[in-house]
Every structure is written in C-alpha cells, then in structure tokens.
Amino acid sequence: MAHRPKRTFRQRAADSSDSDGAEESPAEPGAPREVAAPGSAEEGPPSGGGRARMAGRPHRVRGPSGRGRVWASSRRAKEAAPRADEGSESRVLDVSTDEEDEIHHSSERKDDQGLSSDSSSSLGEKELSSTVKIPDAAFIQAARRKRELARAQDDYISLDVEHTSTVSAMKKESEDDPESEPDDHEKRIPFTLKPQTFRQRMAEESISRNEETSEESQEDEKQDIWERQQMRKAVKIIEERDIDLSHGSGSSKVKKFDTSISFTPVNLEIIKKQLNTRLTLLQETHRSHLREYEKYVQDVKSSKSTIQNLESSSNQALNCKFYKSMKIYVENLIDCLNEKIINIQEIESSMHALLLKQAMTFMKRRQDELKHESTYLQQLSRKDETSTSGNLALDEKTQWILEEIESRRTKRRQARMLSGNCNHQEGTSSDDELPSAEMIDFQKSQGDILQKQKKVFEDVHDDFCNIQNILLKFQQWREKFPDSYYETFVSLCIPKLLNPLIRVQLIDWNPLKLDSTGLKEMPWFKSVEEFMDSSVEDSKKESSSDKKILSTIINKTIIPRLTDLVEFLWDPLSTSQTTSLITHCRVILEEHSICENEVSKSKQDLLKSIVSRMKKAVEDDIFIPLYPKSAVENKTSPHLKFQERQFWSGLKLFHNILLWNGLLTDDTLQELGLGKLLNRYLIIALLNDTPGPDVVKKCNQIAACLPEKWFENSAMRTSIPQLENFIQFLLQSAHKLSRSEFRDKVEEIILILVKIKALNQAESFIGEHHLDHLKSLIKKD
C-alpha cells in the first residue's frame, strides 16, 4: 500500500468540511477560495490515500431544512460543494488510487474552465440541474491513459478537454486490454510536495489575508446565501405543486351528491326548542351585560364624587402650584434685580459725583475768598506796605476775587431789598450762587442722569419693578398661607428685595434742599405702610415681623444714603441745608426707630458723621479776626465790616449746631456749640467789641439759640457750667452800660441772665447797683 504524505491543516479542514459545506458552497461564485482551489488541484500532487478515503465515503445530500455551518472557512469546502450537489443519487464509488486521481484532475479541470469563462452562468445552471453525469470506468481509464502519455512525452497535460476521438480510442483500448493497469509496486510514490507555482502562492497569500478579515463577513454572507437557497427551493416546490394541481384538475371528476346518506329527522318542536335555548342564552348574556353596565355607571359616579371630595377637601395641588409660581416669581425677580443693580450703582455714582463737585466748588471758593480778603485787610492795616500813592499793590487774582465777592453781595442786597427783608445781617448768607454757565452745565448733567434713571426699568414688567405689585404678591401669600409665610421669615427678605427699587427712586432725592420730597410722600413709603397695615398677625408677632419692614428699610437703605450726604455734601454753615436735613432726620430717627432700647449701627454712624462734619466746620470755616480799635472805630471801615461778617457767620454756625437739639445728646451739643464755638470764638469777639446796643443784640441772639429744655428745671439757680464765661461777659457789659448812656440796655442783660437760669448772679447784680425795679423780673420767672 502506498505511503501517504502528511496532510496539512488546510487539507484536513477541507476533508472535514466536504459534507458540511455542500449546500452553501456553490452559491459563492467568484470567492477567492474557489479560484485558488483549481490551481492546487492541477499542479499539486494528489494525496492518494486521503482521496480514496473521501471517495469511499457516500455523499449525502441535505434536505431543504438542512443548513451548513456558517463558521466553516476551509479552501476545500468550495470545491466539495459541487460534488455534494452532484451526489443527489446516493452512490458509493470504489476506485483505485489512480482512478480517483483521474477523477479529481478531470473534475478540477472542468471547474477551472467554468470559473475562468462564465462563473455566474455556470453557477445558475448547477443550481437548476437536478442530475449530474458521473464519469464511468471507461472515461476514467481514458483519462489515466492520457495522463501517462503526457508524462511519457513532455510531462504536459493540455487544458483542452474536447478530444472526443482520443477519448473514444482510449476507451476502446482500455476495454481490449484490461490488464494494462499498473500494479501498486509500479506506482510512483511522491515523498515531497511538488513546488508550488506562482499562481498557487498568490492564491494562498490572498486566502490567508482574507481569512482574517472576512470571517465575520463570510458568516453573514453564508447566512444570506442559505436563506436565498431556501427561498428558491420553496418557490420551486410551490411551482411544482401548482403544475401537479393543474394536471390533476383536468382528470378529476365532479363528485355527485350521494342520496343514500340519511339525516336526522327535523320537526317544529325541535326547532322551537333550539330557538328557545338560544333565546335563553341571549337573555342571560344581556342581563349580565346590564349588570356590568350598572356597575360601571356606579363606578363612574363614585369616581366623580371622589374627585369632587378630594378637590373640595384637599388643596395640595393648588398649594403646590402656588408655591411653585411664587418660587419662579422670586427667582425671576432676583435675576432682574441682579441684572439692574450694576446700572443703578453707576447712576448713583454719577449723581453723587455731580453733587460732590458742586459742594467742593462752594467750599473751596469760600475758603479762598476768606483767605484773600483776610490777607488784603492785613495789608491794608499796615502802613509800611502801602505804596507812595496810598494804594495797595494787589495781584490780579486777589483783585478779581474781591470784585467777585462784592458783586455777589450786591446782588444779594438787591434781592433782599426787593423782598423787604431789612433785618438781615451781613455774613449770614450761604453764598451758594453759581455763574450762569456753570449752572447750565450742572442742570444739563443732572438732566442726563435723570433720563438714565427713567430708563433703568423701562424694559421690565410692572410685576418686577413696581413695589406695590411686588408687595401684593407677598400679601397674597400671607393671606392664603400665613403659617408658611411667617415660618420662612419673608419680612426679613422683603427689605433686601426692595432695596434696588427704592434706591432708584432716591437718585434725585436730595434731603439738603428745602423743597425736597419727604419720605412719607414717596410712593414706596406708602406702599410699604399699606402692606404693614394689612398684616393679619396676632399682637405677639406684630412687634417682630411685618411691622419692622419699614424700619429695616430705613436703617438699611435710607440712613446709609443720608450718611453719605452728610459726610460729603452737607454744609453746616448753610441754614437751609441744615434745616432740611434735620427735618428728614427727625422723621427717620424718631418716628421709625426699630425699638426703644435697640441701638442701630446705621443710626450711630449717621450721628457720628453729623458731629464730625460740624467739628470740621468749626475748625476750618470759623475765622473771626481781631483788629486794633483804631481800625474798627470807623463804622464804615472794611476791617469792621469783615469782622462783623465773620462774627455773624460764626453765630450762624452756632445756631445751626444747636438746631440738632433732640437728635444729638446734650453733652455733645454743649461741648461742640458752647465749648468749641461760643467760648473759643464768639466770646473773644464780643470782648473785643465796644459795649453798646450792638453787643446787647449779639448777646440776645446767642441766648435765643440756646435750647429751652436746658433750663426747664425751675429749681435751677445757676446756669450750666459751659455758660459761665458768657454770664461773666453779660455782667461786665451790664456794669459798663449802667454807667453809660445805654443804661436802658441793662434790663435786657438781666432778662438774658434770667433766661439762662443765672438767677444768683442777676440778684447780686441788682442788689449791688440798687436796681430794685428789676427784682420783679426775677420773681416773674
């Protein structure tokens, strides 16, 4: 027996997949593995033993329901598929090794030709053909003879298979000489594989590359091929059945009714009974449907009543909807205010800068004028600094300033004469006039800022910029759900929400002007008061929640603005500004204090800024010069006029300081007004003055500025300590006047002493000068 060469993995895979891949392999024309297979069959040496064993195996044809394994990937699977289809007739071929090789070569030669010429058409023919001719013994013998002749001559086998004459001759020769077949020992046993041709190597390389990349695609393709095959088979079977039916219909005969068949006799009673039975069943069914219908009607009624009860008894859905709407509203409100707050701050800064520039202009002008006028008078009093012609050598700036001062004073005198105010004292004017050009620029800038103020909320809905509408939302919450309203401390949040809106309304509010709008007349103030008055809290909560909203707004918004105005814009020498500021401060600090015993930091800051600003005014703006008597003897001398103006200016500040009585503490006012201003400046100026009606008038003005509540105690016999210097000056003036032509002025001085509760000093003076007629003044008091 011939030795078989060792088979490779691909050969074993091909042998194992011959039977499994018989159905799906023919449907893949043009696949790489079909092209490579014939080449290996033509030029590679056949494996005799392996092929004999494969030929000895019967070929099985799978039925319509059989499927091959889609994961099969052998090269020989494509070659075995046609042979599997050809084996529809179950046969067993028992041939020798050479015969099997001959069959193999001839079949592969045919396959090669079919694939190279028209692979698509041959595939269709193979699928449609039901039977394939299997080579018989004569054809195999002829092929073997032809191969031997080719080997003997040129070792060449022609690709042309159409040699009918040669085949028939070889067939006859083989029939005549049956013993010409070589024995087993004469066979040439190949011990090595024949070198592969270039085509085989290319095919194997292509197969090895495609095996890795097309395993998954092959499975899908084979699945699709198998499905198409099954569809073709199913269509073919249906068509055959239709043909059989068409043939069978012509030969079939129409069956006739068999009269021999007998039926059950039917009479009227049976029909009636069946109808009654059917009617009973229908009635029962109808009754059951009626019961179900009544049940459903009752369920619908019950559901509707339940819904109504739930809607009337529980408002959870409405509550949730309301809280959700309030949450969305507050979030949108906060977003709106956060977006607008930057613009509001810019407008506030612009207005503050404009007012500050104006205030600094007035202050600097007053200080410069005071400095230049004082210098001019000092030079005027020095004869050694005068020129030969008797005129002072003044620089242009000083000359221009003095002219401006005199021009404004003249205009004010004319205005007072027209108004009929003849009791006005020089030096008590505020001197806050601006040139027409500067006034026009100021008004234009102020108008531009106010236009920006109006445009801040022009693109915002009223529900988010109108304080009354905002408070109305929270009022609805308070009325519907008071518990949740107070539990969430809404009263603490409302002042913060309203802060930007109130600040917008305060941009053009200047409490330093007499014609400024009061807080109570402002729209936001009225809206907050109405909201507080509509509170439904009990008396215990009223003192700690909604009733404190207005106080909180004042302390968090109004007082800080007032503090800035006092620190940077307020002029304590201006009586109009001081009066207006005190009016607003009384409303804020007295009527809307948070609590009697509670100390507000903002309130403390405001009062500190007021005291600090007045101290600065006393130190920087008060200047009362002292000139020799020779310089002030003449009532028309400029030295006397300047001195008088400065005294009355100091007395004006003294009056403005004491106007804060009731807002500032008595100790603060006494220290600031009496200690720093009266005793340090005013008394010294009075001592330098000649006693007479003018001095008595000044003393009366000083006493008129003193608060009456300081002397309300009827048991007082001596005045307050800070007035001791003033009392001594009154007594000295009374002594001098009693010996002069102005003795009638002594009575006025005694009245001043009585007013300030210096009763002991007044009695001693009356007794010393034997003025018994004045004792009645003390007793009346």
pLDDT tens per residue, range 136-190: 888 888 888 888 887 776 555 555 544 444 444 444 444 444 444 555 555 556 5
Predicted pLDDT of residue 325: 92
Question: Are 29 and 77 in contact, with CB atoms under 8 Å apart?
Answer: no
Residues 6+ apart with CB under 8 A from 312: none
Report if residue 183 sits inside a domain: no
Q: Is residue 514 over pLDDT 90?
A: no
State whether the Cα torsion 13-18-20-23 is positive or negative: positive
Predicted pLDDT of residue 422: 66
In the three-class reduction of DSSP (H, G, I as helix; E, B as strand; rest coil), residue 257 is classed as coil
Report if residue 307 sits inside a domain: no
Predicted pLDDT of residue 467: 94
Q: Is residue 59 over pLDDT 60?
A: no
Report if residue 353 sits inside a domain: yes
Give CA–CA dist 323/330, Å, rounded: 10
Dihedral of CA atoms 299, 305, 311, 314 in degrees, nearest 10, equals -90
Give CA–CA dist 410/404, Å, rounded: 10
pLDDT above 70: percentage of residues in the chain:
67
Mean pLDDT, residues 311-334 taken together: 83
Report if residue 8 sits inside a domain: no
Residue 58 identity (one-letter amino acid)? P
Give CA–CA dist 600/589, Å, rounded: 10
Residue whose C-alpha is closest to residue 351's, from 510, 582, 585, 502 = 510
- Range of lowest pLDDT (263-267, 476-480, 598-602): 598-602
pLDDT above 90: percentage of residues in the chain:
31
Query: For tokens 């009337």, what's the residue?
Result: 312
Predicted pLDDT of residue 403: 80
Query: For tokens 């994961």, what's the residue?
Result: 71
Q: Which stretch, 193-207, 223-237, 404-418, has highest mean pLDDT?
A: 223-237
Give CA–CA dist 623/621, Å, rounded: 6
- CB neighbour class for 206 (10 Å; exposed up to 12, middle 13-18, buried from 19): middle
Question: Are 504 and 456 in contact, with CB atoms under 8 Å apart?
Answer: yes
What are the Cα distances from residue 588, in Å, to 518, 561, 563, 780?
10, 12, 12, 39
- Range of lowest pLDDT (152-156, 395-399, 692-696): 152-156
Predicted pLDDT of residue 592: 62
Q: Is residue 393 over pLDDT 80?
A: no
* Phi, psi of 716, deg, nearest 5: -70, 130
Q: Find how far residue 458's CA is from the centre of its chain.
A: 23
Q: Write down the mean pLDDT value for the chain.
A: 75
Give CA–CA dist 340/343, Å, rounded: 5
Mean pLDDT, residues 210-221 taken together: 70
For residues 738 and 152, the model is more confident at 738
For residues 204 and 322, the model is more confident at 322
Question: Are 16 and 56 in contact, with CB atoms under 8 Å apart?
Answer: no
Mean pLDDT, residues 389-410 taken together: 72
Predicted pLDDT of residue 778: 72
In the three-class reduction of DSSP (H, G, I as helix; E, B as strand; rest coil), residue 387 is classed as coil
Report if residue 478 sits inside a domain: yes
Q: Cα–Cα–Cα angle for 745, 749, 750, nearest 5°? A: 115
Question: Are 559 and 588 in contact, with CB atoms under 8 Å apart?
Answer: yes
Query: For tokens 């445009």, what's the residue?
Result: 455
Please, which residues bridge with residue 664 across strands? 661
Query: For tokens 């400046």, what's the residue?
Result: 681
Predicted pLDDT of residue 219: 76
Tokens for 184, please give them. Answer: 């087993």
* Phi, psi of 664, deg, nearest 5: -100, 160
Give CA–CA dist 745/736, Å, rounded: 10
Alpha helices in 97-163 (DSSP H): 97-128, 137-153
Domain span at residue 340 reads 322-383+395-417+435-536+545-617
Predicted pLDDT of residue 132: 55
Mean pLDDT, residues 503-518 taken together: 91
Mean pLDDT, residues 559-588 taken together: 92
Mean pLDDT, residues 98-114 taken together: 44
- Range of lowest pLDDT (29-33, 493-497, 664-668, 728-732): 29-33
Predicted pLDDT of residue 249: 52
Report if residue 624 sits inside a domain: no
Predicted pLDDT of residue 13: 39
Predicted pLDDT of residue 117: 41
Question: Are 227 and 69 in contact, with CB atoms under 8 Å apart?
Answer: no
Q: What is the DSSP letter of 4?
A: P
Label residue 334 by pLDDT band (50, 70, 90).
very high
**Secondary structure tally for the chain: helices H, strands E:** 32, 0
Tokens for 3, please give them. Answer: 């030795």
Give me the number of domains the chain comprises: 1
